[in-house]
Amino acid sequence: MTVIDNDPRPLFVRALDQTQQLVTTTDPEHLALPTPCDEYDVRTLLGHLVSVVARINLALNGGDPLTIPVIATDVDDVPTAWKVRRAALDETLTDDAVLGRICKLPWGTLPGAAAIAGYTGELTTHSWDLAKATGRVNELDDDLATQVLPMVRQFIPADQRGGHVPFGAVVPVADDASPYDQLAAWQGRQP
């Protein structure tokens, strides 16, 4: 992978690395725990993350990510499934052409660079969901959230939530709240 000015891939790889660390070290005893993402417990969140990796890879290769379920329910070994799908995605990311390739996404049709940025926000937020649910918030990369927060604020409007914008109302937090608390609150989660 060649690093290009304003290339979203390095930040995306950091989000993937953080997510992988959490996914592959989640204790099976935590699978039934609730997460801050109301519709998911830890088990379904892990299934969603396995699907997200496959979806972004398919989208970046010109396919339709909507052909992959939102939650992978047919995976017995989540850490192995994650690593296999991550390896395929890493290979896709080595091609600089991916940045300009038009991708069909669940939320619109965008160039690959914008798709990667959007998924960076999703992975960073879901990493927080998983860390919060399993008591591992101290393992998160605060600098990653600091860099992702402005992108998320740009792409997810503060108003018109619900329906097409599947987020709850912005939750007020102190100006000096941690970067992850601010990121979660912007997306309607209670930090």
**Residue 86: band (very low, low, confident or very high) from pLDDT cuts 50, 70, 90:** very high
CA–CA separation, 182 and 175 (whole Å) = 8
- Output the CA–CA distances (angstroms, integers) from residue 35 to 45, 46, 52, 68, 88, in the order listed: 8, 11, 17, 23, 28
List, in sequence order, every residue forming a beta bridge with 104; answer none if it has no partner.
109
Q: What is the pLDDT of residues 94-136, one digit of tens each?
A: 999 999 999 988 878 999 999 999 999 999 999 999 999 999 9
Phi, psi dihedrals of residue 57, rounded to the nearest 5° = -65, -45
Structure tokens at 163: 């329906």
**What is the C-alpha separation between 120 and 8, in angstroms, rounded?**
8
* pLDDT band (50, 70, 90) for residue 39: confident
For every residue of 22-77, which 3-state class applies, written as one string?
Answer: HHHCCCHHHCCCECCCCCCEHHHHHHHHHHHHHHHHHHHCCCCHHHCCCCCCCCCC
Taking the C-alpha atoms of residue 23 and residue 5, their distance in angstroms, rounded to an integer, is 30
SS3 of 111, please?
strand
Architecture of domain 9-186: Up-down Bundle (1.20)
pLDDT digit string, tens, across residues 41-61: 999 999 999 999 999 999 999
Q: What is the pTM of this model?
A: 0.92
Q: What pLDDT does residue 163 have?
A: 64
Residue 96 tokens read as 């600089």
